[in-house]
A = this chain, B = another copy of it.
Amino acid sequence: MTTPTHVVSAGADLFADAVAEQAVAVSRVDWRPPMAGTESDLAAVAGDPLRRDANERALAAMLGVTAHLVDVAPASEVLGLEEGQFLHAGPPIAWDRASGPLRGALMGGAALEGLVEDPEDAVALFEQGTAVSLEPCHHRRAVGPMAGVVTPSMWMFVLEDLATGARTHCSLNEGLGKVLRYGAYGPEVLTRLRWMREVLGPLLQRAVRATVGSSGPVDVTGILTQMLQMGDEAHNRNRAGTLMLLRDLAPAMVTSGADATFPGSDVADALRFIGGNDHFFLNLAMPACKLALDAARGIEGSTMVVAMARNGTDFGIQVAGTGDEWFTGPAQLADGLFLGDYGPDDANPDIGDSAITETAGIGGFAMATAPAIVRLVGGSVPDALATTRRMHEITLGENPRWSVPVLEFQGVPSGIDVSRVCRTGILPQINTGMAGKQAGVGQVGAGLVTPPAEIFPQALAALAARARGRR
């Protein structure tokens, strides 16, 4: 018997360790068995003749979209939202199963719309359910961070793929702390939302329209490219992105803003509000990601995830090859860092449409480019680098426009592949804010979270059924 000079060890470390102890060179290959019960569906999907081409088309469609900021306008106008209609983050849900932060945001939204005077009175309104209705943002070409509640009078960013005219939408970011999207609905929350409605929204509309008419609409995808070179991963760090947006809109805010209706002090307040909120750009990053992913919807045979979204109770995904079907499981609790005296017992499970950023390859998938994020969401710098590398194992490709300098300009891992997730057991890594589980509390922390594992075998089963049906 000859001694091997080199051993390749796949999977568990036990064998590799034993070999290494015998002074034989060993290359460790990270391998895990597929998720339980997925073998037959994996085989069916692997054998689907449409799959390879469909996935190439889905990835190319996503990577081909450039999002521009073409307008800012009320949700009633651009989404056709009518009195009593409320949008929310995540897959569909009714009031009876809604989490605390979603309930709190809906209550505040009802007060903002004048349906009730006191937000607490809105509980009866939603329990009765005749004068109000709930619908996911995603069903109206929109996304919303955290609770993601959108009401008719809220102003929305309007993003467009100029090549196709496709559009997506997102509300204006309120800042941090006690804010509606984290489920707070106190007087300071409503006062801020009213100022955003009466002053910020109209000023932004003027500035955006003036910019569109002069230098052209702001290239949101281009700002994302720059942000990734500036320490932002565009989910929980949007500092550079916010500053670039401010840079691009400030001149038009000065020339188109100040007049008889809005004095210079209003313009200055608006500049201060945007500049004082490092997360302001998140509400442009999210619809830019949705715009890209929407281009990949409805491609038969594609196993690429086109949406990950949470309503605070359920985590749902949609897949390019399975139409508008949601595959859902229980939203998980994030592991992370807490604000002030808050702790794990205060946190609501994962909530928000913001995981659309990870679905598009940024956020948790781009943590390597934003090592400072670990101070907010926990973990270590080596973890952040390893996370981006690990996500390449479950994605279809890289995004050449969105590169990570410290990984020698490698593109971010893009296009989550349901098959690869099931085959490796590696779950998408999301970084996220944490809302208090009681309505009215607001933000309690930030951390790292994954989807519930079972939704990927669910989606795989649906893909396999379609593949078998097509034979």
Contact = CB atoms under 8 A, between A and B. Distances in A.
Interface of A: 226, 229-232, 239-240, 243-244, 246-248, 250-252, 254-255, 258, 264-265, 267-269, 271-272, 275, 371-372, 374, 380-382, 385, 405-409
Contacts of A251: 268-269, 271-272, 275
A102 to B, nearest CB: 33
A265 B271 contact: no
Nearest to A268: B251
- This chain's copy number in the assembly: 2
A255 B381 CA distance: 42
Contact of A254 (B246, B248, B264, B374): B264
Contacts of A372: 229, 405
Contacts of A382: 408
A256 to B, nearest CB: 9
A250 B246 contact: yes
A250 B246 CA distance: 9
A39 B170 CA distance: 68
A303 to B, nearest CB: 33
B258 A275 contact: no
A254 B268 contact: yes
A371 B406 contact: yes
A380 B405 contact: no
Nearest to A272: B251
B247 A243 contact: yes
A275 B247 contact: yes
B240 A268 contact: no
Contacts of A405: 231, 371-372, 374, 381
A213 B302 CA distance: 60
Across the A-B interface, the 5 shortest Cβ-Cβ residue pairs: A243-B243, A371-B405, A247-B275, A251-B268, A372-B405
A216 to B, nearest CB: 14
Contact of A271 (B231, B250, B275, B381): B250
21 contacts: A226-B239, A229-B231, A230-B232, A231-B231, A231-B405, A239-B240, A240-B243, A243-B243, A250-B271, A250-B275, A251-B268, A251-B271, A252-B268, A255-B268, A258-B264, A371-B405, A374-B405, A381-B406, A381-B408, A381-B409, A406-B406
A426 to B, nearest CB: 24
A394 B382 CA distance: 26
Nearest to A245: B243
Given A247-B271, A250-B271, A250-B275, 12 more contacts: A230-B230, A248-B275, A250-B250, A250-B268, A251-B271, A252-B268, A254-B267, A255-B268, A380-B408, A381-B406, A381-B409, A406-B406
Contacts of A244: 243
A163 B461 CA distance: 68
A243 B223 CA distance: 13
Contacts of A248: 275
A407 B371 CA distance: 9
A419 B246 CA distance: 47
Given A230-B239, A231-B230, A372-B229, A255 B265 contact: yes
Nearest to A229: B372
Contacts of A247: 243, 246, 271, 275
A374 B406 CA distance: 11
Contacts of A374: 405
Contacts of A275: 247-248, 250-251
A423 B427 CA distance: 51
Contacts of A268: 250-252, 254-255
Contacts of A232: 230
Nearest to A246: B247
Contacts of A252: 268
Contact of A246 (B230, B246, B267, B371): B246
Nearest to A404: B371
Nearest to A255: B268
Contacts of A272: 251
Nearest to A368: B406
Of A226, A243, A258, A408, most B-chain CB atoms within 10 Å: A243
Given A254-B267, A264-B258, A371-B406, A240 B246 contact: no
Contacts of A250: 246, 250, 268, 271, 275
Contacts of A243: 240, 243-244, 246-247
